[in-house]
Amino acid sequence: MNLDVQSLRTFSRLAHSGAEQAAGSLTTLTGFDAHVAVTKVEMATRADVEREFRERDLVTVHIGFSGAIAGRTVLAFDRERAVTLVDALVPGAAEDPDSNLATSGLKELGNIMLGGFIDGWADFLGDGIDITTPTYVELDAGRSLRDVIDESSRATNGFTENGFEGNGSAANETPTIPDASDAEIDGEHVLAFRNHLEAVDEEAGFYIYMLPTHDSVVTIVDAAGNVEDALPVETYTSFSQMISEGAGQASEDLTAMTGIETEVDVSRLSFVPIEGVPMELTDEQRRGVVLEFSGGPSGYIAILFDSESAESVADALMPGMDADAAMRQSALQEIGNIVTSGFLDGWADTLETTIEISPPTYVDDIASAIVDPLVTELARTQDYAFLIDSAIVTPDETFTCDIYALPDERELREAFTQLATEAD
């Protein structure tokens, strides 16, 4: 299967339009003013998706679709938010979130929202897409995302046994769609369209995932793509693997510098409208460095810590020293420089090029504001960005290091082409 940037743009546009339809339905049904914060096309691993579901304590509604394209959509809510929304749709449901009434209300909400989300894809393809009856699903620590989706596809009764508080899952029909494994690009990666919806008056968000089957991706690419620019999807997977290896090297370098054992928590490649990049980052305070790199591809990279993490790594680098602010800033710059080198060196080796790195610039601001000037600069020449997002953590939560890389889109495509050529 081949994939090109024009297809990615179409995927992003359709997913965003569908999410706007879903947000409008949510507002009409519940009175909560919702909008689409950001839409991403993500080359994710199943492990990353499962981790996000567990860490956020999400409850979900799944709907399968078949016809012009096939696959599964997932509407995910924070648990407390789900109860609030269902109570607006079915007054009194919040009094007993374990009840069938509450679960049924959430499924009906998901049915209307996800039905609207799918409609735009059918219009684009000029063909019908049928959807299944919604399934309420929870992901607990004992099962993988694939296990839960497969279970929901087989289930026949209408409600979970334990409502929003439980760990059960069930469906009220057996969907006639392929299971989750058909959405996989390879053994670990899935191509996911991820939309983040927000309510204007609250921070709590909702998420729409769409996981099309392999054949469905081919169908959309054939309808929207540029065959001359298309590359095997394995090229994107190879680059994702290169990112993961770079994050692993950066983790090892951090451990060597600080003496604190670290591990890679997440590392992924996504395609997002350029103006949506800052919205992907938190508005919490971050300290770290920003660097520019050049040499094919070129771009920017930010190495960011929260305030406590910044203090922890500075202390680890200068043990026993009563360092002033300037020395701590210098320590963070040195750490950022080493981490960036570790992260990018593997790229240079694989692409057989030299990547030059600028001196690190110290930053202390909210994360979205730190990245905003980088995005503004890239927006001069591109409408979409490939966002590389990695996180390095310590098992005991001593610190967290977030790595955000924004390569020049045109130069990154050239790197993709080189990877595809070498694979041949």
Over residues 338-373, the pLDDT tens digits come to 999 999 998 888 888 889 999 999 999 999 999 999
Among residues 203, 228, 253, the one where a domain terminates is: 228
Specify whether 334 is located in the same domain as 407. Answer: yes
Q: Please answer whether residues 310 and 329 qualify as being in contact, where contact means their C-beta atoms are separated by less than 8 angstroms.
A: no
Q: Please answer whether residues 280 and 389 qualify as being in contact, where contact means their C-beta atoms are separated by less than 8 angstroms.
A: yes
Query: Which of 22-26, 27-31, 274-278, 365-369 has the highest average model confidence (pLDDT)?
Result: 365-369
Specify whether 190 is located in the same domain as 278. Answer: no
Long-range contacts of 78-87 (CB under 8 A, 24+ apart): 78/204, 78/205, 78/206, 79/164, 80/204, 81/199, 81/202, 81/204, 81/205, 81/206, 82/106, 82/164, 83/164, 85/26, 85/30, 85/32, 85/109
**pLDDT for position 340:** 94
Specify whether 162 is located in the same domain as 279. Answer: no
Range of the domain at 131: 2-228
**% residues pLDDT > 90 (the chain):** 25
Q: What is the CATH number of the domain that holds 402?
A: 3.40.1550.10
Specify whether 252 is located in the same domain as 188. Answer: no
Residue 251 has pLDDT above 60, yes or no: yes
**pLDDT for position 167:** 33
Specify whether 221 is located in the same domain as 254. Answer: no
Specify whether 200 is located in the same domain as 254. Answer: no
**pLDDT for position 188:** 56
**Which of 220, 230, 238 shows the shortest CA–CA distance to 3?**
230
Among residues 194, 228, 262, the one where a domain terminates is: 228
Specify whether 27 is located in the same domain as 156. Answer: yes
Q: Is 424 exposed, middle or buried (0-12, 13-18, 19+ CB in 10 A)?
A: exposed
Q: What average pLDDT does the chain have?
A: 80
Which whole number is the average pLDDT over 119-132?
90
Among residues 210, 228, 246, the one where a domain terminates is: 228
Specify whether 72 is located in the same domain as 168. Answer: yes
Bridging pattern class, strands 400-407 and 384-393:
antiparallel
Confidence of residue 292 (pLDDT cuts 50, 70, 90): very high
Confidence of residue 159 (pLDDT cuts 50, 70, 90): very low
Specify whether 242 is located in the same domain as 174. Answer: no
Specify whether 187 is located in the same domain as 292. Answer: no
- Give the chain's domain count: 2
Specify whether 317 is located in the same domain as 186. Answer: no
Residues 310-347: tens digit of each pLDDT: 988 888 888 766 767 888 899 899 999 999 999 999 88
Least confident of 79-93, 168-182, 314-328: 168-182
**pLDDT for position 416:** 85
- Provide the residue type at 7 as one letter: S
Measured distance CA(10)–CA(224) in Å, rounded: 7
Measured distance CA(410)–CA(90) in Å, rounded: 50
Residues 211-243: tens digit of each pLDDT: 888 888 888 888 886 766 777 777 887 788 888
Which whole number is the average pLDDT over 74-92?
83
Helix (H) or strand (E) holding 160: none
Specify whether 204 is located in the same domain as 285. Answer: no
Question: Hey, how many other C-beta atoms are within 10 angstroms of the C-beta on 319?
Answer: 8
Measured distance CA(271)–CA(387) in Å, rounded: 6
In DSSP terms, which residues pair with 395 in a beta bridge? none
